[in-house]
Amino acid sequence: MRYAIISDIHGNHQALSAVKASLKNEQPDEVICLGDIVGYGAEPGLCLRETLELCRTVVAGNHDHGVAGRLETSFFSANARKAVEWTSKVLDPAEKKLLYDLPLLKDVSWPDGIFAAAHSAPEQPQEWRYILSMDEAEYQFEHFSLPLCFIGHSHLPIFWRLGPDGECSMAGREYLRLEPGNRYIINAGSVGQPRDGDPRACYAVYDSQRRELIIRRVEYDIAAAQRDIVKAGLPARLAERLAQGV
């Protein structure tokens, strides 16, 4: 099986469209979305509809639940909170219900077993923790048992590995060959708002037969996405950061 894993689209339809075009070349058997379909960008409804058409497995992100009224957003940054409020006004009740009903964690069956899909973390996904350090990765490995978990949330592609000896390490950021006996947490990066200094749309491809994981980067019309954000009246900083990849 060949899987494409997308995450953190954040209402950026230009980026999503570029990724969808790229997927025609990848020809995945299944596309999985790890949440935060909306928030920040100017096309939340369109991104929601196209994501649900594209993906059989979709989990909720914190922005999705914030827009749906399922999550208190007082801990969001000021710009993120403004974007959530704007998005909530733009979406209709049926669209917000779709976001409200998305699960936080999903087990995905595949020929060799099961892997997990979550937005933030496999352990207590409702806490929206970031897995950015070895300590946090090691803690998460202790609290789920599946061999593989895909996440998003931080917008940073990064791979964590737990060896059969219990040793946790960073396993890469762009390419990985999964070895038997190891367990992995894979961050697929962000389609609509990368934050690792590379502004191109980002997603992951996992080939379960070859046991290979690769991060793909896709050019898209950043200027058009920026214009849409400004035209919508969203904070200008949300447009600026797209070109910076931060």
Of the candidates 152, 215, 159, 158, the residue with the CA atom closest to the CA atom of residue 182: 159
Strands 212-218 and 201-207: antiparallel
pLDDT digits (tens, 9 = 90+) for 173-229: 999 999 999 999 999 999 999 999 999 999 999 999 999 999 999 999 999 999 999
**Whole-prediction pTM:** 0.96
User: Which residue range(s) make up the domain with 66?
Assistant: 4-244
From CA 74, how far away is CA 78, in angstroms rounded?
Answer: 9
CATH of the domain at 152: 3.60.21.10
Q: How high does pLDDT run on average in the chain?
A: 96
Tally of domains within the chain: 1
In tens, the pLDDT along 61-98 reads 999 999 999 999 999 999 999 999 999 999 999 999 99
